[in-house]
Chain A
Amino acid sequence: MYFARVFLACALLPAYSATFPQPPTGMPLDKELSPGRSDEALTVR
């Protein structure tokens, strides 16, 4: 039973992690122009 649970968890984990956003990586940008938007999308942190 234990092995069955471990197997199920291992089988489901990649599918879960593949479809949910991962935590953001890297330092935030100081300024950015976002894709598809006009120049008004400029952000300044």
Chain B
Amino acid sequence: MKPPLDIQRIDRPVSYTDGLAMQENAVAAILAGEIGDTLFLLEHEPIYTIGRLRDQSSLRASTTLPHPVFETNRGGQATYHGPGQLVGYPILDLNPRGRDLHLHLRLIEDALIAACADLGVSAGRREGMTGVWVENRKLASIGVGVRKWVSMHGFAINVTRESLPPFLAITPCGLDGVSMTCLEAEAAEPIGMARAYVALEARLLQTLGCS
């Protein structure tokens, strides 16, 4: 049986460093037995992030990017976070969930795909590619990690068109030729952040939690 999931929706733009600190604190608190599984849902202030890599070519011209760059403790190539994009950080103790990081990632994908369907967008997976896609357009990025089997990082799904232009300055996730898309561009009817929050919250609760 899955443990309860406490969803914390942050209603103000969160800096990437604050978001990282929130996650670090939650991981420590879960490891100390002080809190249970927690899911942060938020929007970040505009920022490019990249993993600790020697090859940072996905940032292209890092000195002329329109937003700051942050080198984070995850792996992987460059991505962008900012307004119009819903970010979720599930901080879950995977010990009672089978210590399966692949399963954790696939469950997040499942929840995102189901939420997209609820919003009238037919999205799915692509062979060998993490994330959620509409045909060959990338709608959501997923990157997860664990510390002592407590998960960190999570997903970022583009909701409104405002989230897309900054991706043009980088090679998202180091994938050449991939274009990013958003729910608003793929849906037949308008989708704002409020609707996206409701749909995502419901599906993530259903998939990752039990309460």
Contacts and interface: CB of A to CB of B under 8 A. Distances in A.
A41 B76 contact: yes
Given A27-B147, A42-B101, A35 B141 contact: yes
B36 interface: no
Nearest to B156: A35
Given A24-B52, A35-B142, A29 B128 contact: no
Q: In terms of DSSP, what is the predominant structure of the interface of chain B?
A: mixed
A44 to B, nearest CB: 10
Contact of B72 (A24, A36, A38): A24
Contact of B71 (A23, A28, A38): A23
A2 interface: no
B131 A35 contact: yes
Q: In terms of DSSP, what is the predominant structure of the interface of chain A?
A: loop
B130 A33 contact: yes
B147 A25 contact: no
Given A29-B147, A30-B146, A33-B143, A21 B50 contact: yes
A5 B4 CA distance: 57
A20 interface: yes
B60 to A, nearest CB: 12
A29 B69 contact: no
Nearest to A38: B128
Contacts of B143: 32-36
Interface of A: 18-39, 41-43
17 contacts: A19-B62, A21-B69, A21-B71, A24-B52, A26-B20, A27-B147, A29-B147, A30-B147, A32-B75, A32-B143, A35-B74, A35-B77, A36-B79, A36-B172, A37-B129, A38-B129, A41-B76
Those 5 A-B pairs whose CB atoms lie nearest each other, nearest first: A36-B173, A34-B76, A29-B145, A32-B145, A35-B143
